[in-house]
Amino acid sequence: MNSRRAWLVFGVGVFAYMISVMQRTTLGVAGVDAAERFDSSAALLSTLAVVQLIVYAGLQIPVGILIDRVGPKWLITVGCAFMVVGQLVLSIAPDIPTAVLGRIFVGAGDAAVFISVMRLVNSWFSGRIVPQLSQWVGNIGQLGQVLSALPFAWILHGFGWTPAFSVAAAASFCALVLSAAFLKNRPPGAPGDGRVASMGEAIRMLAPTLRRPGTQLGFWSHFVSQSSGTVFTIFWGFPFLVSAVGLDRPAAAAFLVVIVVSGMIAGPILGILSARFPLRRSNLVLGITASLGLVWAAVLLWPGIPPIWLIAILTITLGIGGPGSLIGFDFARSFNPARSLGSANGVVNVGGFMASFVMLFLIGLILDVQFDAGLSTALYSMDAFRLAFAVQYLVVGTGVYFLLRARRHTRRRLQEDEGISVAPLWVALAGKWSRRRR
């Protein structure tokens, strides 16, 4: 555990995840180009991203079960192969149905990578470094957004649609080769192989995993903190920045990079806080979610076009939401046995992407309705985006309600099983303050 070989496995796994993030976010950078290539409505274009996320979310639990049965190495390798096929199909797609097929392959491949890498971290490392490494998986992986926002965008706008998506496919092929060559499910000499005995046993373990309040808390934590940033980076952020705010394409791409940099700075801090204050992790999630709500309110209620400094604050806050969502996987690790951790991580990972595809589709639908009814002068106008982006409050607000409910049940279980009582944060802070004054 924690050996040099472990760091090699970690590096290759994170590289594979970084490439999968690049494949996931290439369409966001190409959103304006896709509108020109396929000459489609906002709702129809959004189906490219929605279908990808539906496939991704729908496969999380099956992939988690497969991780518990066959291990993460071959799932990562097969996932990379699917993404190669998907991006090649998209590179030559002449119409929306063909493009949707390509994004189905990309979503299926992407679905296999992240929770497999998280399983590798838990298999190869131990101790308080695990929550921090979980954050680093997310942080380094998000560099894939930089790859899509800068080199991919440069190829797309300089050489065209087909060369850009072909190069993206080649990047996934590199990840495939490295994963097949260097990944291993567990350290040599580890007791057992870490896998359940049969597929039937893996499926039977799913029901107890779903019933655990800690798993549910992880699901809703991921739901509320990740979805807003995912919607922005995967599809709607680039059209919003270019068509509504009025930025040129390089400036819009730079703001997508700000999201990544913000997450890379916030991630290690959140990892340390999660390890230092494990009973207050939900407060971190709720604080990040509240910050997102406040900043979005400032952007959407600003009279006229929001200023650049406010857009910068928005992208920084969205960046913090990404590593904030990884706290959900720390809940899964804390409240589930190692043998069912794959399926538990799969359940958690469904959360943010379920919220994302709902919001992606609703935003496109609301934009189309306003334009068709003559309520907005342009499909992607600032006024149209104000109402469309406001749908986040309905979706995320629902998630916050269920998060608080799951937290209450989790704390009750801690009290019953381990005798650990977790007081509300304000009570704990007041008690600490009074003890200091004595």
| 219-235 per-position pLDDT tens digit | 999 999 999 998 998 88
**Would you say residue 189 lies in a domain?**
no
**Would you say residue 200 lies in a domain?**
no
Amino acid 53: pLDDT = 81
Amino acid 190: pLDDT = 64
Amino acid 310: pLDDT = 97
**Would you say residue 63 lies in a domain?**
yes
Amino acid 171: pLDDT = 97
Tokens of 307: 């200023």
Amino acid 110: pLDDT = 93
What's the rounded Cα separation, in Å, for the pair 357 and 57?
9
Question: What does the mean pLDDT of the chain come to?
Answer: 86
What Cα–Cα distance (Å) separates residue 58 from each residue in 55, 61, 103, 108? 5, 7, 14, 9
Here the CATH number for the domain that contains residue 279 is 1.20.1250.20
Domains: count for the chain? 1
Amino acid 197: pLDDT = 54
> Phi-psi category of 39—alpha, beta or left, where left has phi over 0 and alpha has psi -120 to 50?
left
Amino acid 196: pLDDT = 61
**Would you say residue 192 lies in a domain?**
no
- Residues (pLDDT < 70) of the chain are 1-2, 189-199, 202, 417-438
Amino acid 305: pLDDT = 94
Amino acid 334: pLDDT = 83
**Would you say residue 170 lies in a domain?**
yes
- pLDDT tens, position by position, 154-183: 999 899 999 999 999 999 999 999 999 999
**Would you say residue 319 lies in a domain?**
yes
**Would you say residue 53 lies in a domain?**
yes
| Model pTM score | 0.76
Domain span at 253: 4-183+206-437
